[in-house]
Amino acid sequence: MKRERSARIIATLGPSSSSRECIRALVGAGADVFRLNFSHGKHADHAESVQLIRAVEHEVGRPIGVLMDLQGPKLRVGRFAAGAVVLAQGARFRLDLEPTAGDAERANLPHPEIFAALKVGTELLLDDGKLRLRVDAFGADFAETTVLVGGVLSDRKGVNVPGAVLPISPLTAKDLADLDFGLTLGVDWVALSFVQRAEDVREARAIIGDRAWIMAKLEKPAAIDQLEPIVALADGVMVARGDLGVEMPPQQVPVLQRRIVRAARAAGKPVVVATQMLESMVSAPVPTRAEASDVATAIYDGADAVMLSAESASGQYPVEAVDIMHRIIGEVEQDPAWRAGLEASHSPAGANTPDAICSALRGVAELLEPAATVAYTSSGFSALRASRERPVTPILALTLQMTTARRLTLAWGVHPVPFEEVHDLDAMVEHAAAAAQAHGFAQAGDAVIVIAGLPFGRSGSTNLLHVARIPA
């Protein structure tokens, strides 16, 4: 089950992939992390999925990550007396808190926080941006609008407010209940939806603590305005292109994707590119050429992972989707231009000891061409700082904590390996060489780089770089 590629694959589980046999096949095809979408499914379904993932993990003998994706607030209009209405361009349309069924002139919008954030001229997007309204007047419980782009509007369609920061928590009552349940299952990552500001990540951290790592989903224009503070507080970020593409002009999404990837790489935080990567494979056994290029672009940019959603959750070809994604990544990573691009987009290391050690690691690896880098890590910090440098060697992350090993399954180039504790430098070097050989990354006579923090077990203390030669 050794991975020959550096970028990772997240596969969403669902009706098409919920059996143990399919999960095992997805891992064999290249899945490194499984996403549980808490917008769908019951708690019992997700509990069974985690149980099956852990059974497969034991079978294949390598850590597998589990990411729970919270639904977040869903802003929707109410119901219509006729089930649907047609809004004509230029027509007047009222939104209010009145709970009665709507018609072609007004509709219920049961979200006072939206009215609180409005300004004259604010645009409202309905039904994933298919309809567009302009706010002409508003109050605490209503908004008078003009229809800019008309169409059919039916019951419970979504509402987006791209030009405003809404006074709303990213964690609904449902999310809090789901989060409590997911943490009891031992999920490794929590994907936080509806992030608008750094305080949203801080709010989630107060609840989650160190029980899981937090991935901020960047899907709101307001979040882009606070990109660096959000990246600094989160453990990882996701480019959620579906929702981002609703609230931003489509031509801006590729530019924002690259900006987000670079910001996360500079901070040394794992970054995932998601949504509609191989969308046609929901119903077709092969992707379009454009989709293959889309996956490749994320890999050329240096993303840690790419994600499948409906393709693996409800599509007809879940295993094939993972397999083709695996092959696209492998092809890109054999292209010399890929390595050249990583070097060109590399950010300078910070002025601190861990970054200095890992920057030196990058240079030593290029000069000596060792078989592998072995990072001893308790919290995952050393492995992530090494991953930030995008070295030419694979990174074996040796950790005492299975929770750390599972979290690191999402990090670029990192191969997490649980191990037993060592107490001195000689034992550490000997164990590193043995692990590199045992996992197929090195053989007798090869050099390996060892990085660690002394004294052992102190998080964030990376201060040692050692080059060792495996005895012939």
Instruction: Choose the catalytic residue: 5, 62, 217, 407.
Output: 217
Is 217 a residue of the active site? yes
pLDDT given for residue 1 in this prediction: 56
pTM of the full predicted structure?
Answer: 0.95
Neighbours of 378 (CB within 10 A): 18
What are the domain boundaries of the chain? 8-72+169-338, 84-160, 353-469
Termini Cα distance of the chain: 26
- Residue 311 tokens, joined: 């393709």
CATH of 84-160, one of 1.10.1740.10, 3.10.310.70, 2.40.33.10, 1.20.120.80: 2.40.33.10
Q: What are phi and psi of 54, to 5 degrees?
A: -65, -35
Provide the pairing of β-strand 84-87 with 92-96: unpaired
As given in the structure block, the two tokens for residue 56 are: 């497969």
Asked if 38 and 68 touch (Cβ cutoff 8 Å), the reply is yes
- Ramachandran class of 61: left when φ > 0, alpha when ψ lies in -120 to 50, beta otherwise: left
Identify whether the C-beta of residue 15 lies closer than 8 Å to the C-beta of residue 416: no
Considering the domain delimited by 8-72+169-338, tell me its CATH architecture. Alpha-Beta Barrel (3.20)
Report yes or no: 248 and 219 within 8 Å, Cβ to Cβ: no
Transcribe 186-231 into DSSP letters. T-SEEEE-S--SHHHHHHHHHHHTTSSEEEEEE-SHHHHHTHHHHH
User: Which sign does the torsion angle of CA 47, 51, 57, 60 carry?
Assistant: negative
Question: Which residue has 């047609």 as its token pair?
Answer: 86
Q: 159-160 and 213-218 as β-strands: parallel, antiparallel, unpaired?
A: unpaired
Residue 414: closest CA among 236, 219, 182: 236
Please say if 24 is a catalytic residue: no
Catalytic-role residue among 12, 122, 275, 373: 275
User: What local confidence, expressed as pLDDT, does residue 454 receive?
Assistant: 80
Residue 404 token pair? 């750390």
Q: Clarify whether 35 is annotated catalytic.
A: yes
Pick from 199, 191, 124: which is nearest to 168 by CA? 199
Instruction: Please answer whether residues 146 and 134 qualify as being in contact, where contact means their C-beta atoms are separated by less than 8 angstroms.
Output: yes
Q: Which of 76, 130, 134, 205 is catalytic?
A: 76
Closest C-alpha to 325, from 252, 373, 272 = 272
CATH topology of domain 353-469: Pyruvate Kinase; Chain: A, domain 1 (3.40.1380)
Considering 35, 106, 132, 157, which one is annotated as catalytic? Answer: 35
Predicted confidence pLDDT, tens digits, the chain (472 residues)? 589 999 999 999 999 999 999 999 999 999 999 999 999 999 999 999 999 999 999 999 999 999 999 999 999 999 999 999 999 999 999 999 999 999 999 999 999 999 999 999 999 999 999 999 999 999 999 999 999 999 999 999 999 999 899 999 999 999 999 999 999 999 999 999 999 999 999 999 999 999 999 999 999 999 999 999 999 999 999 999 988 989 899 899 999 999 999 999 999 999 999 999 999 999 999 999 999 999 999 999 999 999 999 999 999 999 999 999 999 999 999 999 999 999 999 999 899 999 999 999 999 999 999 999 999 999 999 999 999 999 999 999 999 999 999 999 999 999 999 987 787 888 889 999 999 999 999 999 999 999 998 877 666 678 999 999 998 8
Q: What is the pLDDT of residue 307?
A: 98
